[in-house]
Amino acid sequence: MAKIGITDNVFAFVPITTVTILGSHVQDRPNFMALGWLTRCNFKPPMIAISVNKSNQSCIGILESGEFSVNVPTTDMVSITDYTGLVSAKKTDKSNLFETFYGQLKRAPLIKECPINVECRVAEKVELATNFLFVGEVVGVHAEESVLTEGRPDPEKVNPFVLSMPDNRFWSLGECVGRAWHEGKSIKRNIR
Amino acid sequence: MAKIGITDNVFAFVPITTVTILGSHVQDRPNFMALGWLTRCNFKPPMIAISVNKSNQSCIGILESGEFSVNVPTTDMVSITDYTGLVSAKKTDKSNLFETFYGQLKRAPLIKECPINVECRVAEKVELATNFLFVGEVVGVHAEESVLTEGRPDPEKVNPFVLSMPDNRFWSLGECVGRAWHEGKSIKRNIR
């Protein structure tokens, strides 16, 4: 099984992530931007890492306020989510695109139309060549009751979408193909 | 549309990410661990951020070597991938689980069975409460020719799977629901 090197590293296929809408305050107004570069990054307390290009107004806003939100849109919101990534707050006021509300943090605007909203306070920031990597401590999570199963968000009810690169396509979730920390148990037994 | 606060933040539904297998050297031997906490984090040069619990041998190994690999398994590899996350290198030698090869970095073992392999050199590290966040500069990407379309990895051919939490389930990719930096163009035209 031959492997070949891919010269254009930027477009390498790693990794797929949930598409979210980043909320921040820019010049005291709510601003929103499609965000696909994020991951959980600390177990306790819960933290998530997001990466934002330095040229984005969202980046400047988060550096100033130390607060941001991550909102999870459904597949019905593909176009409006994508739109937030196509226009800059420099030229277009995006503060009224969504119905917003606030939790504990007053500069982390939350989107009513998104079934899951997470408010974060910046705990660490790392300046990279083109991007800022922000580590946010999760200070509040808000969810529509309709997307919960036994009190916890259920991906099948949330109906999120993910981004793959370099092809730049959005995908819904497919079939459940197993359970984490479970599927490997049969191998564990056999190897023992 | 009422929203409720979720008290158990740790298990909030953000975000879904590709399941990968992290490769590192631990005491001069290849070691592998299921890794679901990662994201792209810098555009140019290409970098990815990964988060590893401090108690993992992989974390100790990466701190020592400054190198790691990220390998993308297919849905056929769910059980073996999960297994690498169930057993610790402290007790079980995982160096022979896969057929390995090396690219530029000699302490970033790559997995032949995975169609995509990425080798990274640690550029930044952030110590958080329970985890280390490593920022790795991508120094090489290797791919099976069979998963490429016009020279670039194609998610439909790679057939990866993603992890959702708090339900801890693995999912295949579903339907393509749109194109990034494209679907929002109709809204942009209307608003203008």
Q: What is the pLDDT of residue A157?
A: 93
Q: Which residue of A has its CA nearest to B144?
A: A3
User: Is it the case that residue B10 has pLDDT exceeding 60?
Assistant: no
**B20 interfaces chain A, CB cutoff of 8 Å:** yes
**Mean pLDDT estimate for chain B:** 92
Burial A23-60 (b: 16+ CB within 10 A, else e): bbbbeeebbbbbbbbbbbbbbeebbbbbbbeeebbbbb
DSSP string, A45-75: TTEEEEEEETTSHHHHHHHHHSEEEEEE--G
**Contact criterion met (CB < 8 Å) for A168 and B175:** no
**Contact criterion met (CB < 8 Å) for A178 and B170:** yes
Q: What is the pLDDT of residue A7?
A: 58
ipTM of this complex: 0.94
Q: pLDDT-based confidence at B12, cuts 50/70/90?
A: low
**Contact criterion met (CB < 8 Å) for B45 and A129:** yes
For residue A20, the chain B residues in CB contact (below 8 A) are 14-15
Burial A75-85 (b: 16+ CB within 10 A, else e): bebbebbbbbb
For residue A182, the chain B residues in CB contact (below 8 A) are 82, 168
Per-residue pLDDT tens digits for B159-169: 999 999 888 99
User: Is it the case that residue B141 has pLDDT exceeding 70?
Assistant: yes
Per-residue pLDDT tens digits for B38-84: 999 999 999 999 999 999 999 999 999 999 999 999 999 999 999 99
The pLDDT of A7-20, averaged and rounded, is 72
**Contact criterion met (CB < 8 Å) for B80 and A184:** yes
Q: For residue A40, is it left (φ>0), alpha (ψ between -120 and 50) or beta?
A: beta
For residue B188, the chain A residues in CB contact (below 8 A) are 83, 86-87
Q: Is A133 helix (H, G, I), strand (E, B) or coil?
A: strand
Per-residue pLDDT tens digits for B105-126: 999 999 999 999 999 999 999 9
Per-residue pLDDT tens digits for A131-184: 999 999 999 999 999 998 888 889 999 999 999 988 899 999 999 999 999 999
Amino acid at position B155, single letter: P
**B102 interfaces chain A, CB cutoff of 8 Å:** no
